[in-house]
Structure formats: C-alpha cells, structure tokens
Amino acid sequence: MLEPSHNNELPVIPAKRYFTIGEVSELCGVKPHVLRYWEQEFSELSPVKRRGNRRYYQRHDVLLIRQIRALLYEQGYTIGGAKAHLVSDHAKEDALRTKHLIHQMIGELEDILELLK
C-alpha cells in the first residue's frame, strides 16, 4: 500500500465501467476495510451492490475516494471536516450552475422581448 504522502504515485484509473473493492483498494492506496468504513461515513459514496453483497465501484466513486483520501491523509481533515468540505464543494457547484442557468434564461427572455417589440 502507498503511504498517505505518496498520493502522486497512485496508478492511472483504467477505462472500465465497474471496479471491485480490491481493484479500488489498489487504485486509491486504501485498504478494503477503510473503503467499507468510508461508505458508512460518506453518503455520497455508494457503490452498486450485487449478488452476495459484492461491491462494484464506478469511476466517479474512485475519484471521490481519491478526493476523500487526499482530504483525510494529506490535508489533515477529520471525517467530519471532510464531510463538510465535500458538502460545501457540492453547494458551490450547484450555486455556480444555478447562476449560469439564470444568466442564460435572462438572455433568452431578453431575446424574446426584442422579438415581441
């Protein structure tokens, strides 16, 4: 396993749709029991569970795990702090998307107003 300070040495994520917990463990430098614990702590992390309760992670799950790993191991966040950081990141993204949509709608409404004149 990689030490927390060696995040730059993580392997490239292959072009696959699903990854087993063992593959994700290797890709993220985190042991499987830690991944299972993080699933309980971070609601955003929810791999598909199939036959026999086997976990299958998707690419976005692997990226999220790497982000959680960086927050906890490199930046020194606590579990609670990492949760709050992830929530604030999602809130910022939502706010930016909303702002962009509002500007787009204003532009379209101005165009319609010009057509009506």
pTM, two decimal places: 0.69
- Asked whether residue 71 falls in the same domain as residue 84, the answer is no
- Asked whether residue 32 falls in the same domain as residue 48, the answer is yes
Q: Which of 7-11, 30-34, 40-44, 105-109 has the lowest mean pLDDT?
A: 7-11
- Asked whether residue 64 falls in the same domain as residue 26, the answer is yes
- Asked whether residue 58 falls in the same domain as residue 97, the answer is no
Tell me the average pLDDT of the chain: 87
- Asked whether residue 9 falls in the same domain as residue 39, the answer is yes
Query: Model confidence over 39-78: pLDDT tens digits?
Result: 999 988 999 998 888 999 999 999 999 999 999 999 999 9
Q: Give the distance from CA 81 to its chain's centroid.
A: 15
CA distance 30 to 51: 24
- Asked whether residue 24 falls in the same domain as residue 50, the answer is yes
User: Which distant-in-sequence residues (6+ apart) come within 8 Å of 29 by Cβ?
Assistant: 1, 2, 4, 6, 7, 10, 69
- Asked whether residue 53 falls in the same domain as residue 8, the answer is yes
Residue 105 lies in domain: 80-117
pLDDT above 90: residue 27: yes
